[in-house]
Amino acid sequence: MFQQLQQQLQDAQSQQKALVQVRVLNTEGSTYRKSGARMLIDEQGQRFDLVSGGCLETHLSRHAMQVFHHGKPLSLEYDFSDPNAADWQISVGCRGKVVLLLEKLAPENNYGSLALYLQGRQNRAPSWLITDLTSGHSHLTFNEPVAERGADLPENNLSNHPSTALDSTLITSPPHKGDNQVIEAIDPAPRLLLIGTGPDTDAIIELARGLDYQMQVIGCQSQSLQHFHHRFPNLAQRVEIDELNNYLSVNPVSYVIIMTHNQSMDAAYLSQSSLSQLPLVGLLGPAERKQRVLEEMTSPIPSNLAAPMGLDLGGHGAQAVALSVMAQIQAVHHHMLGTPLHSKIGGIHD
């Protein structure tokens, strides 16, 4: 969602056009999307993303036209558990309750809460997005000084947006909710580091970005880095093996995939102490190769090592590998087992 929202915001900014954002504020029971989900509607009624399985979107587009006209936030509540619901709600698949907020985003308000939300996702610490329902004004509060918010990352291109620099304050605890305010907690996007710049990184990068991971890529092989820069300008950095610990102290990540395609380099990177502190470190390649890599290591094997990395989903090729490894990371990140939904007891999102 992050990449799609970021692209739509950049397109709107370049064309100086307005959008209406539909934000999921709260849900109860079974709903298609959960709190924090967003979709955008332009002045022609075109929709970007969904907040339901298509059940609400046409109805929301009509309300969006009202918000375009008067410019004030609009809160809507839909209760699909009501047996006396309107006829148009009968076909709704989910039978829960959802509260939505429609907001106008335009040049005159620096694209309001959407620009701030995207900044919060790129921040390295939790933040809170506070929106006043009377004025429509939004601002962010942070747990760390503004100057430290991810400025070193090549993917961070929103930090200088005018709506963020002027509207950010510093606090050390969640803000007190005032009258007629909406407060949304924003968790930082998970950060994934790829060690290796071969062509098989491309599928992982595209899938991970679509899942809202912030990407970092490093390598130390000049020719491979050069080819990578042609495909993804300004994304990768050259980091020698003995520089990895210092790099991660400055640019912390949650997950790492080692994929240099060089057995000795894989072993040397994997031997760096900073990797043992992460929730998951993955090594690509078959089990037989794993043993050869581990034999070359100069430090104990990290307990968080997944090798071979990935879930057993079947398939061949770069896209299948990307799906397999990102499925494992996604399961770890959300503390899930990666089991089939039909065998799960309880709700899909529980």
Q: For the chain of 350 residues, list the mean pLDDT of each consecutive stretch of 10.
A: 83 93 84 81 86 75 90 85 57 71 92 91 89 89 52 39 40 65 90 95 95 93 92 94 95 95 95 93 93 94 93 93 96 90 73
Q: What pLDDT score does 135 carry?
A: 85
Q: What pLDDT score does 238 carry?
A: 95
CATH number of 191-333: 3.40.50.720
CA distance 186 to 125: 9
In the chain, residues under CATH classification 3.40.50.720 are: 191-333
CB 244 within 8 A of CB 274: yes
Q: Helices 263-270 and 287-296, interaxial angle, to 10°?
A: 60
What Å distances lie between residue 350 and 52, 189, 190, 347, CA to CA? Answer: 18, 20, 20, 5
Q: What pLDDT score does 147 carry?
A: 41
Q: What pLDDT score does 349 carry?
A: 65
What are the residues whose beta carbons fall under 8 Å from the beta carbon of 320, sequence distance 6 or more?
313, 314
State the residue for tokens 């040397």: 268
Q: What pLDDT score does 174 carry?
A: 62
Q: What pLDDT score does 86 carry?
A: 58
Q: What pLDDT score does 201 carry?
A: 95
